[in-house]
Amino acid sequence: MSGSGVPTWEDVAREHGRFLYTVAYRLTGNSDDAQDLVQEVLLKVRRGLETYRPGSMEGWLSRITTNTFLDEARRRRRRPLDLLPEEPDRVLPPQPGADIALAAEALPDDVQDALRQLPEEYRAAVVLCDVIGLSYQEIGESLDVPVGTVRSRIHRGRAVLRKVLE
Amino acid sequence: MTKRAVAAAVLLAGLASPLPATAGGPEPLEKARYAAEHTSFEGVLEVRWRDRDQMRSERLHVEAGGGSLIVRGANLVMARPQFGRLLSHGGGGWEEMWLPSMAPAARPDGVRKYRTTPAVDGPAVAGRPTRVVEVHRGATLLERLYLDTETNLLLERDQYDPNGQVVRQLAFESLAIDPTAPPPSLPKSAAKHAPKRVDADRVAAPDALADGYERIGIYRSAEVLQVLYSDGLYDLSVFEQDGRLRRSDLPPAAEQVAVGDAPGWRYAWPGGQLVVWAAGGKVFTAVSDAPVDQVLTAVRSLRPAPSRELSLLGKIRRACEALMEPLS
Amino acid sequence: MSSFDAGAHLGDALSALLDDELPVAQAAQARAHVAECPTCAHELAAVTQARAWVRALPPVEPPFGFYARMLDDRLPVTAAVGPRFDLRRRAAVAALGAAAAAVTVLGIGSPAARPVSPTVPRLVEAHATSASVGADLLSKLAPMGVPVSFGR
């Protein structure tokens, strides 16, 4: 750690590499893209460390990782923002009285495959919320969208996951 | 006598009772094993190991009591009574790595392969008098063990290469025996990470490898199969997983070695050696605390079983995989 | 003032309720609604399950050598060549091969196309824990206190 209290990018890489890789893998869904994403993030970290203010390092890294991921996803897409098909108020058909057993097991690979099926903006919102644990406010700041949008993306994303993992 | 010395003497008296059935290692290590499980102590341990051309070292804090032992470094490792093992990376959540129900079979008797010299008085380690034992194989000195005269705790263990240079070393820098210290507290919860034991008749793994390594356990977690071997003193695991090895993924190795027809890469870790190689559509990783030459001899004796007629399912599977073989 | 029309369903407010992101008064109203509305109760259970599954995802171990490459930026991080593997097809083959995999053989196998990177630190940990059983704890276990890494 450098004397001034600001970490060097090597400190960041060593201490947070595993966390960064996990987030990158959950976002991209495969090892090669995850490695590329982490390397890109670390490049940004090197440049950004001068402006870094001590606070939540993981939050800062999560934000850079997600935005880098989304920038790349948008760049690859030829059409604009990918939305889940509009549905009226309900996302699932009503089943009065039906119980869903919460003890249902899902293998990590299956959950990862299901995540991969979400459009990137929805996937990012779910990952920031349920993998990293950020608040809606923090997610809104990270993605630069209003909290209402965060809420809707998380909800829709989860509903699709549930359906896919039936 | 100081209070501490009295307390230690009381402990010793307890230790003088007959040892439980041994697990096959040389007797001094057996005494050390017993001592570690029955003594309350705290100390700083230095681990040194040779990685390529330099010696690396790390300091660890060790605390033991009530049958539990905890090692604190960048990782935390805890051994609980009745063989449970817990691990925490960097102080994060705990993972349960081992369950008491999975104890491997008894180890072979190392006496056939290794010769230990009678204990003689040795130098002070961590300021404490020691008795020294040497472990030989034939004419070659492999290790020196420095045991605490009072408690039989292992204070230092040095492993040498054939030239007599230290390859690995564990040594206490400071140690305090304190029977009144409370045992280390156990974490409240741990994520389950223990493998499952596999029946020997479902796996065609060799009963033994060259040089006296006998199979003592088979375990599986997710896509990895682990076969554990031991010669009584050292242990060797062979891990197998389906797939092909990408050389570009491998970090700089200590040594490139040949394992049969396949190229392999050897690496050093603080507890010994490991070798990675691929053969027959599988990737193998051997991990051991044995000296390099023994590890290589053992893994080279792992011959692929003679090819058998594939079942119909096997042929379909092979055909599908051949269809999807990416261009490389 | 109630934000919720008695007849309307809660929609994404359900996730907000689940994540404790609703102000106290709204949360109470939402809970009251869920108690009386099977549709919303069903939907809440669904998103609760999905959240539980994602939260249960374990950390992912990077491929062997990743840290070394990250810190030594002269080396390329990935060497991916050729077409990316289609994961759906791989999943189908895995399902087909599952029955054949009931008996595992050490040293034999059909040529597997999938590149795999042994998660060496995990394997070392698995070995050290299993080898420490019935053996001297200090020798077998203490080295695990040092994270396994192969650096510059």
- List, for residues B73-114, the tens digit of each pLDDT value: 989 999 876 558 888 887 778 888 887 777 788 888 888 899
For the segment B238-287, what is each residue's pLDDT rounded down to a tens digit? 999 888 887 777 888 888 999 988 889 999 999 999 999 998 888 999 99
pLDDT at C97: 40
Examine the pLDDT at B6 and tell me if it is beyond 80. no
Distance from CA of A39 to the nearest CA of C (A): 7
pLDDT at B58: 93
Angle at CA of residue B174, ends B18 and A14, nearest 5°: 110
CA distances (Å), origin C148, targets A115, C123, C145: 30, 10, 9
Q: What is the ipTM of this complex?
A: 0.83
Distance from CA of C136 to the nearest CA of A (A): 31
- Cβ-Cβ contacts under 8 Å for B28 (sequence gap 6 or more): B116, B119, B133, B145, B147, B152
Examine the pLDDT at B231 and tell me if it is beyond 90. yes
Across the interface, of C69, C107, C129, the residue whose CB is closest to B305 is C107
Q: Tokens for B85, please give them.
A: 């093992």
Mean pLDDT in residue range A110-136:
92
pLDDT at C84: 34
Neighbours of B26 (CB within 10 A): 21
Q: In the structure, what pLDDT confidence band is assigned to residue B212 with cuts at 50, 70 and 90? A: very high
Q: What is the pTM of this model?
A: 0.60
Please tell me which residue, B325 or B317, carries the higher pLDDT value. B317
pLDDT at B325: 44
Q: In the predicted model, what is the mean pLDDT of chain A?
A: 78
* CB atoms C137 and B279 under 8 Å: no
CB B285, CB C126: distance < 8 Å: no
CA distances (Å), origin B122, targets B128, B141, B301, C106: 10, 17, 39, 45
Helices (H), chain A: 9-28, 31-48, 57-76, 108-116, 120-126, 136-143, 147-164
pLDDT at B101: 72
Neighbours of B192 (CB within 10 A): 8
Structural domains in chain B plus CATH codes: 3-177 (2.50.20), 195-304 (3.30.200.100)
Structural domains in chain A plus CATH codes: 9-76 (1.10.1740.10), 108-164 (1.10.10.10)
Q: Tokens for A161, please give them.
A: 């996951």
* CB atoms B288 and C127 under 8 Å: yes
* Strand C115-116, strand B244-245: pairing: parallel
Across the interface, of C78, C123, C139, the residue whose CB is closest to B170 is C139
pLDDT at B215: 93
Distance from CA of B9 to the nearest CA of C (A): 22
Give the largest CA-CA distance in chain B: 79
pLDDT at B24: 47
Mean pLDDT in residue range A6-21:
76
> Can you tell me the distance from the alpha carbon of A15 to that of B226, in angstroms, rounded to the nearest whole number?
29
Examine the pLDDT at B23 and tell me if it is beyond 70. no
Using a CB–CB cutoff of 8 Å, tell me whether C80 touches chain A: yes
Mean pLDDT in residue range A44-68:
78
Residues of chain B contacting residue C125, judged by C-beta atoms under 8 Å apart: 87, 97
For the segment C75-106, what is each residue's pLDDT rounded down to a tens digit? 444 443 323 333 333 443 444 344 333 333 34
Closest chain C residue to A131 measured between Cα atoms?
C55
* CB atoms B202 and C128 under 8 Å: no
CB B211, CB C101: distance < 8 Å: no
Q: Tokens for A49, please give them.
A: 């460390």
* CB atoms C130 and B250 under 8 Å: no
> Can you tell me the distance from the alpha carbon of B272 to that of B153, in angstroms, rounded to the nearest whole number?
21
Q: Which of residues 29 through 58 in chain C touch A, CB cutoff 8 A?
A: 38-39, 42-43, 45-58
Examine the pLDDT at A1 and tell me if it is beyond 50. no
For the segment B148-179, what is each residue's pLDDT rounded down to a tens digit? 999 999 999 999 999 899 999 999 999 999 88
User: For an interface test with B, which of C130, C140, C148, C152 has the most B Cβ atoms less than 10 Å from its Cβ?
Assistant: C130
Using a CB–CB cutoff of 8 Å, tell me whether C71 touches chain B: no
> Can you tell me the distance from the alpha carbon of B297 to that of B46, in angstroms, rounded to the nearest whole number?
30
Examine the pLDDT at B307 and tell me if it is beyond 90. no
Quick one: which of C152, C69, C150 has its CA closest to A39? C69
Mean pLDDT in residue range A66-85:
71
Q: What is the DSSP letter of B111?
A: G
